[in-house]
Every structure is written in C-alpha cells, then in structure tokens.
Structure 1
C-alpha cells in the first residue's frame, strides 16, 4: 500500500460503496475483511480474496469502514464495538452526518476507539455488490468530519489512505456544514429528478427526448429505502432547499405569465454565468 499506514481493513456492508471500498483497498495491497448479511455477496467477495470479518478478526483491524444506512450503522456498531481494539480507526461512510456522528462518538468514548465521520462523493444509480468496482472513487472527493480534539496525525493517515484508493481530494468539514451542503448538491438533485419524471407529460417522452431528459431523470432510478432514510435524517436542510427551489421555479413561471421577456433573458444569463463559475471551480479555478 502506497501510504503504508494501514494494512488490515475491515468493511461492514458490501453494497455499492462498501464493495467498491473493499475492492479499492485490496488493489492498494491491503488485507481486506468484509461482512455482509447476504451470504451470496460474501461468497462473491471471497472469490476475489476478501476475507470474512469475524469477531476474532475485529481486534486486529487498523481501520473499520462502515457502509450501511445510518440507522443500521449505529445498531451494528453497538454489537461490534466491544470487540474492537482501541487502536482501530472507525470511519462511517453514511450520506448524512448529524444523524450518525453523535451516536458514533458516544460509542468511541465508551469503548476507546478513534472515530472519524466520512462521506465518499461517488456513486451510481445502481446498487449492490454486483455494481461495485475498485475504480468507483477515481478523482472523487472524500469528505471527512473529525470531531473536536481528533488526533491530527491520525487524520493525516486517514487522508493518505483514501488518496491511495483513488480519491482526488480530501474535503474537511463538520457534520452540520456537511448536511447543509449535501442537501443541495446531492439530495435536492434526487428530489428534482423524481418530481421531473413524475410529470404526466413524461409518459409521452418517446421520440421527444434527447440528452437533457436522460440527464434530468438518471438519478430517479434510486434506492427508495436508502434515500427515504437519508432525506428523513436531513429533513430540516432538505426542506429549506426544496422551498427555495420552488420559489425560484415560481419566479420563472411569473416571468412567462407576465410577458417579461427581458427579465427571463436576464435570469437565464445569470444561471449560465453561475454554471460557468461552478465549472471553473471544479477545474481548479478560483472562486
């Protein structure tokens, strides 16, 4: 492994994210252990050299990555935490942080292991081990939310570990800021995609659609169980973003209804300029 900091990696949950993490860590020359409730998934993981993560293995881990839904993460960690070494770094990979971090920090204090919140900014509209891949995180951002007093040297080791898995950057945040921004950049996009495909007009799309229709509806092909939990856990910030979007759409409708063509032009120009600015930031330009 390029960084040499962590060798034995455990992954709890071998779905799209957990399975991809396990495969990426294996390609980085780590010894990888996995645990999933689906025996067929465990067989498939074993076939590529991912070993079963038994209770006997847990104290030997350098890192334990949890890749379950928020509620399941806390429930499973209650069960596994007593078996961990106080030197095992636990990193959750949940898509929300405020619903997970307090419970994980309490377990960390109770059992003495270090804990770090995380969220890999990568994914697909598909789910499960069969769609996981080692290259899923290439160039992606890995968000980390260290708590107060978290060991800076251990944070640096974690950052190097994720960079060795293919991530292009490490973004440091805190649970509240994470959830506030994710409500826009991830969750609202899924809400809009769902609302868009639910238009009655969408039933007549055949022969009338091009790339923009597919772009707008791609993430509506979601895992409703997971996204219901994520939306619900972040409902305060997500509701604010939905209300804001509704107001902006209403502004467009008002301009059209009142015949304000110049105002419509100005609004579209402003949107184009904001998109160009955001693209520049993604390419490494200045804010």
Structure 2
C-alpha cells in the first residue's frame, strides 16, 4: 500500500483518489482551504485532509499535483524541499511543455523524480464533488518524461495509472502539446465561443436549443480559470490550431456564399468519413 498525496482535489484529482483508495492505497488531500476539502473524507474520496502540506508530503510515496498548470511551479517550490528521497511527483495538467519549462527555470533541470502526466479523461464539471470512480478505466494517460527524468520514477507513475485501468502512452512534451491543441484545447475554445455568441440573444433562442447544440457547447461549462491557464500555457500550438480552423471556416463560408452544393457535400462527406474512423469512446 502506498501513501498518495493529492494536491488540488478537483474533478481529476478526486476521481484518481477514489480509484486509488479502491485499490487499497492511503490517500491524503491538500489544498488552499483544508476546511473546504474536509467533506471529501465523509464522501469516501480520500482518507484524510491535511492542512500542513509539508507534513503530508514528507511521508508520501507519490504526490499528484492536480492544480492548474499556471500554479505548478509555485506548488512544487512549496513542497519540493520536504519530499522524501523515495517520493515521486507527477501532475495531471493539460499542457506539458510549459510545466517542464517552468520547473527547469526554477532549478536548472527537471527534477529526476518528476514525471509530467496528463489523463485524457474528464467532464465539463469541476470540484471533488463531481469526481467519479472508474473515470480512467480504458482511458489514455500521456506521460512526457524528459532526459532528466529517472526511468524508475516513470515506471512507478506508469504502474499507478495502470492500476486504475488506464492505458499509458509516452510522448515528448512537444508532441503532447501539438496533439492536444487540436483534440482538446481547440474544441474547448470553440465551445466557449459558440456559447458566447448564443448568449447575445439567449431568451429568444433558448426554446430552440436541441441535443446537437448541447453536445457542441457542453465544454463551455468547464472551469474558466483552468482553461485560461491552458490557453496561455499552450499559446503557440493553440494559436496555430485556431488559425487553421479559421481558414477552414473561411472555405466553408465561401462555399455557402457561392451556393456551391458540390463543395459543401465534399467537405461534409470528408468530415463524416474521418469521424467514422475514430476509435470507440
């Protein structure tokens, strides 16, 4: 049985805590407001909540950072000096190059025991009360160790995620960020933008909202602070993805303006074919 400390008990941290407890591990939660986290014990999400971060991580085998990517450096600086020599640290942030860059800037190199990670799972909800047992079963978790990372640390974090049913994929931080800009960050921006446009006349349009619109905008219910940090942390790749998407929207608008039925059908058929090639969720 390992002692796992989760700092930042949100949707992902809470869901992982549930699964780790089910697997027999002892889980302690830390956060900015220990009193706010206290109900997580009664809900069976964690074994304990600790207000003293340093004391918590001193006995930890594994520390999981579930904080927004913009706070990773700050949080690691707070706990780093108090970690045991056997502890490994990982995170669950949606960008990886920025995390590596920030930690290198703080210490000159990525700490050998730090394994950057990102579970490709979640919902539009936030907070530990929205956490779900079994969220990671059959899901992909990306790890992005660098040349500074101890292979033994990577192996331990890999085993942690596999224990809760996840498939582990190893990429470079740059590969991860380029891919997630398209598959995660761009859809999030589109959902926010579409919902913002809808909000200009919500009263008139609300009775006409169907399942398609709800599916397209579900992500707009996500935490805006977290996604602000993600957008800025993956700025270059997200900007590129947004511009490529705008080019495609321009092509679509031109076809609509021209009444070009053949072009529209070709675009839609190509998209349909690509969609049908996606693996099952």
TM-score w.r.t. length of structure 2: 0.89
**CA apart distance, 1:158:** 1.9
1:92 equivalenced with 2:78 (yes/no): no
Write out per-residue CA displacement over residues 124-180 of structure 1, whole angstroms, 9 at most, x where no aligned residue: 11111211122222221111001115344442332221011232x111111111111
Hey, what's the Cα distance between the residues in 2 that align with 1:103 and 1:208? 46
Q: Which residue of 2 aligns with 1:4?
A: none
**CA apart distance, 1:70:** 1.7
In the TM superposition, what are the counterparts of 1:51-200 in structure 2 within 5 Å? Answer: 51-53=48-50, 54=52, 55-105=54-104, 114-148=113-147, 150-167=149-166, 169-200=167-198
Matched residue of 1:23: which SS? helix
Unmatched 5+ stretches in structure 2: none
In the TM superposition, what are the counterparts of 1:3-22 in structure 2 within 5 Å? Answer: 7-22=2-17
Hey, what's the Cα distance between the residues in 2 that align with 1:91 and 1:62? 11
Residue of 20, 41, 50 corresponding to 1:46: 41
Instruction: Work out whether residues 81 and 107 of structure 1, in 8 Å CA contact, stay in contact via their aligned partners in 2.
Output: no
Instruction: Work out whether residues 193 and 217 of structure 1, in 8 Å CA contact, stay in contact via their aligned partners in 2.
Output: yes
Instruction: Work out whether residues 10 and 63 of structure 1, in 8 Å CA contact, stay in contact via their aligned partners in 2.
Output: yes
Change in Cα spacing, 1:247 to 1:88, as seen in structure 2 (3 Å) is: same
Instruction: Work out whether residues 115 and 153 of structure 2, in 8 Å CA contact, stay in contact via their aligned partners in 1.
Output: no
In the TM superposition, what are the counterparts of 1:213-232 in structure 2 within 5 Å? Answer: 213-232=213-232
Hey, what's the Cα distance between the residues in 1 that align with 2:100 and 2:110? 15
Change in Cα spacing, 1:259 to 1:110, as seen in structure 2 (3 Å) is: closer
Indicate the RMSD between aligned Cα atoms, in angstroms: 2.3
Aligned residues: 275
Change in Cα spacing, 1:209 to 1:71, as seen in structure 2 (3 Å) is: closer
**CA apart distance, 1:184:** 1.0
**CA apart distance, 1:36:** 1.4
Instruction: Work out whether residues 3 and 61 of structure 2, in 8 Å CA contact, stay in contact via their aligned partners in 1.
Output: yes
Change in Cα spacing, 1:45 to 1:208, as seen in structure 2 (3 Å) is: closer
TM-score w.r.t. length of structure 1: 0.88
Change in Cα spacing, 1:259 to 1:228, as seen in structure 2 (3 Å) is: same
**CA apart distance, 1:250:** 1.1
Hey, what's the Cα distance between the residues in 2 that align with 1:173 and 1:205? 43
Change in Cα spacing, 1:105 to 1:30, as seen in structure 2 (3 Å) is: farther
Change in Cα spacing, 1:269 to 1:111, as seen in structure 2 (3 Å) is: closer
Matched residue of 2:116: which SS? strand
Instruction: Work out whether residues 108 and 115 of structure 1, in 8 Å CA contact, stay in contact via their aligned partners in 2.
Output: no
Task: Say which is worse superposed, 149-158 or 237-246, in terms of deviation.
Answer: 149-158
